[in-house]
Amino acid sequence: MITTDFVPGSPCWLDLGAPDVPAAAAFYGGVLGWDYESMGEGEDMEGGMFRSDGKIVAGLGKLTEKGARSAWMIYYSVADADATTRAVEEAGGTVRVAPMDLDEWGRMAQYSDPLGGQFAVWQPGSNKGVEQVDTPGSLSWTELY
């Protein structure tokens, strides 16, 4: 069961990186009934939040990595993104996005494990994570293939 307690190591956030943010927002709005709240305007819209029943269930952002394909990313809650980055490197993983602050919201980083599986971490600030899980239209399962 996924909860919003967000103890270290628990899934706390998910977002979609997409080359066309408005098209992705329209698709998931139509398929899952999510409402999209943009954090920008017009053609340069970089991303925003998906809501279900008024609660944040996921994020959406413009792809920034060269050659990257549209994909969902799961973030795990950590107490210290910098310490986690050191642990990833020591265990043979790759840092794809170095730890960085997102204003007062928190600190994030993205990695690949030694076999290429991608994942991310979130060190909470004012934002602990998604607001709704384990209900229709929200995160209920994560799995690495």
Domain-wise residue ranges, the chain = 11-124
pLDDT at 132: 96
pTM of the model: 0.91
Distance CA 35, CA 25 (A): 8
CA dist list (Å): 15 to 71, 114, 130:
8, 22, 10
User: Residue-wise pLDDT tens for the chain (145 aa)?
Assistant: 788 999 999 999 999 999 999 999 999 999 999 999 998 665 556 889 999 999 999 999 998 777 888 999 999 999 999 999 999 999 999 999 999 999 999 999 999 999 999 999 999 999 999 999 999 999 999 987 7
pLDDT at 41: 63
CATH code linked to domain 11-124: 3.10.180.10
Which residues fall within 8 angstroms of residue 141, CB to CB, at 6 or more apart? 2
pLDDT at 66: 79
Q: Count of residues for the chain?
A: 145
